[in-house]
């Protein structure tokens, strides 16, 4: 399990397969949150961070941005 999370951490740092790896880390940490009896706040924080990273996607300097292009999220203007 820790080898899987270490490999996922390396992929997230590099920015390769960010949505897939972020979802995987969020699922693993959610399972650990339910099954482990230790400090659960750490598991909750890591799961929330990984889920947010999976939804937002890679950054500008990531490998995903170099391979597939960087998609910028722009909010629509409010109508008055």
Q: Is 40 a domain residue?
A: yes
Angle made by CA atoms 69, 13, 65, in degrees to the nearest 5: 5
Q: Is residue 30 part of a domain?
A: yes
- Residue 80 maps to a domain: no
Could you tell me if residue 69 is inside a domain? no
- Give the range of the structural domain holding residue 56, as residue numbers without chain letter: 2-63
Does residue 7 lie within any of the structural domains?
A: yes
pLDDT at 16: 92
pLDDT of residue 6: 94
Number of domains in the chain: 1
Residue 73 located in a structural domain: no
**Backbone φ, ψ for residue 70 (5° rounding):** -95, 125
Tokens 């995903």 identify what position? Answer: 64
Q: Are 21 and 12 in contact (CB under 8 A)?
A: yes
> Which residues of the chain fall below pLDDT 70?
none
Task: Answer yes or no: is 31 within a domain.
Answer: yes
> The whole model's pTM is what?
0.80
C-alpha 12/C-alpha 22 separation (Å) is 7
């Amino acid at each position: 399990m820790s080898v899987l999370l270490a490999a996922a951490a390396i992929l997230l740092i590099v920015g390769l397969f960010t949505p897939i790896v972020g979802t995987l880390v969020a699922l693993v940490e959610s399972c650990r949150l339910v099954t482990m009896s230790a400090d659960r706040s750490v598991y909750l924080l890591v799961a929330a961070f990984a889920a947010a990273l999976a939804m937002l996607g890679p950054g500008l300097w990531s490998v995903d941005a170099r391979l597939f292009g960087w998609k910028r999220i722009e909010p629509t203007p409010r109508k008055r």
